[in-house]
Amino acid sequence: MTDVFDHPWLGGLFADPDMAALWSPDAQLAGMRAFEAAFSRALGRAGLADRAEEAARAIEGMGFDMDDLRAGTAQDGVVVPRLVRQMKAQAGDAAGAVHKGATSQDVIDTATALAMRDTLALVDRRLADLTAALEGLAARFGARPLMGRTRMQAATEITVADRIAPWLLPLADHRARIAQARPRIARLQLGGASGDRADLGAKADAVAADMAAALRLENPARAWHAMRDGVAEFAGLLSLVTGTLGKMGQDVALMAQQGIAEIELSGGGTSSAMAHKQNPVLAELLVTLARFNAGQLALIHQALVHEQERSGAAWALEWMVLPPMAQATGRALAAAVTLAGQVRRIGTPE
């Protein structure tokens, strides 16, 4: 099975190419390259390095020896030492303008911040799409009657709009949360060896401001090497979104039961054993992805216990968990929009 998001057939169900692109090795490499180029240029403008533009262009134009990067990661636990070695070799005489005063965590975390920033933008756009889709359903079917169900038991009659409301209304709150949290998440990471920017001396803040502007990231007062609350807040936003969609999925799956029949979908899944079945595949998927993210979120919060100036152990746990969380969220949003489009009818059958 391996990774469901990048799998020859399970990818048909789980893959979200747009989100996968934001967290791909290519994107990660592009993010690290962008960091180093911006850093070289900022060093140059701050008078901390010569031939800075030359170094930046070398970094921007070069290819990488991936076998060397892999061997280096095996050795060092992190890709950056070899990445920088390759960059310096490429920069040649301009090597003095490469990475001088930065550290591995600056490079990787800034690339992650770019991915988180772009993820929030993608999630926000899809929340808008889903809002429109659900408002469309409410417009078409909202006035139709439906049996309200509490504790899985028939309660009092409601309308379809009442059933849709808890799928729809939290989406606006999620968008507000994203807007509020973005400045705490999309932050430049720049600290140097122990996070104090010591090697950049009096020019440290100028370098940081320059880089933040170039990379379109926030410029925090100091490095967040060992302050992972922004990362955890990001993960929490993702899981809040998938949680809302999981509730929608669970509702749809329950409504689609024979004997209940409160929803009619096109395009449901077939069975290898029973030709008559129309399985609410995307509805179930939303439940799966919600439960998946809920579990992963705990690990990102475990990783808040990030000791001293850098925890190799806690940091690597983020590497394991963030990309699948983002992909689960992207896929859930896309699936929810598709599912909304599959609705032929909601409400008590006539």
Question: Within 177-206, which residues bind a copy of itself (CB under 8 A)?
Answer: 177, 180-181, 184, 192-196, 198-199
Q: Which residue of 279, 337, 341, 342 would you call a contact of a copy of itself, by CB under 8 A?
A: 279
Q: Name residue, tokens 């807007």.
A: 179
- Rank residues 52 and 293 by Cβ distance to a copy of itself and give the closer one: 293
Label each residue of 202-245 as H, E or C. HHHHHHHHHHHHHHCCECCCCCCCCCCHHHHHHHHHHHHHHHHH
Handedness of CA 292, 295, 301, 305 (dihedral sign): negative
Considering the rule CB under 8 A, would residue 266 count as an interface residue with a copy of itself?
no
Residues 135-174 that bind a copy of itself (CB under 8 A): 147-159, 162-163, 165-166, 169-170, 173-174
Q: Which stretch binds a copy of itself (CB under 8 A): 45-53, 136-144, 204-212, 319-327?
A: 319-327
Residues 233-262 that bind a copy of itself (CB under 8 A): 233, 236, 239-240, 243-244, 246-247, 249-251, 253-254, 256-261
DSSP for residue 200: G
State the nearest-atom distance from the C-beta of 57 to a copy of itself, in Å. 21
Q: Are 215 and 110 in contact (CB under 8 A)?
A: yes
Q: Are 350 and 264 in contact (CB under 8 A)?
A: no
Q: How many residues bind a copy of itself (CB under 8 A)?
A: 154
Give the Cα separation of 209 and 212 in Å (integer): 5
Element (H, E) at 156: strand 153-159
Residues 321-350 that bind a copy of itself (CB under 8 A): 321-324, 327
Helices (H), 92-185: 104-141, 160-185
- Rank residues 139 and 154 by Cβ distance to a copy of itself and give the closer one: 154
Residues 53-112 that bind a copy of itself (CB under 8 A): 66, 69-81, 83-84, 99, 102-105, 107, 112
- Rank residues 121 and 232 by Cβ distance to a copy of itself and give the closer one: 232
Q: Which stretch binds a copy of itself (CB under 8 A): 13-21, 38-46, 52-60, 131-139?
A: 13-21
State the nearest-atom distance from the C-beta of 319 to a copy of itself, in Å. 5
Q: Are 125 and 330 in contact (CB under 8 A)?
A: no
DSSP for residue 343: E
87 C-beta neighbours (distance < 10 Å), count: 24
Give the Cα separation of 164 and 246 in Å (integer): 13
Residues 284-313 that bind a copy of itself (CB under 8 A): 284-285, 287-288, 290-299, 301-313
